[in-house]
Amino acid sequence: MILTFLRTIILYILVLVVMRLMGKREIGQLQPFELAISIMIADLATIPMAEPGIPISNGIIPILGLLVMHLLISLLNLKNVKVRELVCGKPSILIYRGKIDEQKMKKERFTVDELEERLRGNNVNNIGDVEYAILETSGQITVIQKPNKRTTIPEDFNIMPEYEGISYDLVVDGKIMKKNLEKLGKDYNWLVKQVEKFNIKPEDALVVTIDGKGNFFCQEKQKKK
């Protein structure tokens, strides 16, 4: 029992030192190769902890080997752009000049709901306020809002902002969000009239949203070739 306790302490200290040498990053900001190494280190440390019959060196040596690999890959990333693109990938622009790129969304297996969730995480409630949305190699979304929608401090203008509410999805990928229409006290016929202003039908829309001020965002689905 004492031996297991000591082995656990030694491996814990080793893993802690290795993770510190790998650098300071939040879990959501890890590159794919860093995440893979982190998972492997955790598995390698667990086996000698749980099995006293296995030499502790069977955990220490592979962990140190992974550390060397991490440092080597990190060095190559700093020195060579092509290696960095191969190992880490390249950012993908999901929204370009205010328009959702459906091809990039499909390539990255991103749904409109997931995109909106990430935008809300960046304090953007209305997808129509976004000029660019970039999916970084770490999986984070970088949002650049339209110039007239970027954050200012109302106090600088001696004004009190009006309550904006939240943005509601009315159509997602051609599907009518009936529950959201009910929350707004509207029906399908009202939706048809609003979407007709964009010269399309609700079933042909990729996304239709309305914000708290009644502003609409509508984008038509790409037609199949």
Q: Each residue of 53-92: pLDDT tens digit?
A: 778 787 788 888 878 877 887 788 777 777 777 777 788 9
- Enumerate long-range contacts of 16-22, CB under 8 Å, 24 or more apart: 18/63, 18/64, 18/66, 18/67, 21/67, 21/71, 22/67, 22/70
Task: Read off the amino acid at residue 21.
Answer: L
**pTM metric for this prediction:** 0.58
How many other C-beta atoms lie within 10 A of the C-beta of residue 158?
6
Provide mean pLDDT across the span 140-154.
Answer: 81
Measured CA to CA, the distance from residue 80 to residue 63 in angstroms comes to: 26
Measured CA to CA, the distance from residue 48 to residue 51 in angstroms comes to: 5
Rounded to the nearest 5 degrees, what angle is found at the Cα of 141, between the Cα atoms of 136 and 147? 115
Provide mean pLDDT across the span 107-117.
Answer: 90
Token couple for 129: 């306020």
Q: Domains in the chain, start-ordered, CATH in brackets?
A: 2-87 (no CATH), 101-149 (3.30.240.20), 164-220 (3.30.240.20)
Measured CA to CA, the distance from residue 6 to residue 49 in angstroms comes to: 9
User: Quick one: pLDDT at residue 123?
Assistant: 87
Asked if residues 154 and 132 have their Cβ atoms less than 8 Å apart, the reply is no
User: Quick one: pLDDT at residue 26?
Assistant: 47
Matching residue, tokens 């990729």: 206
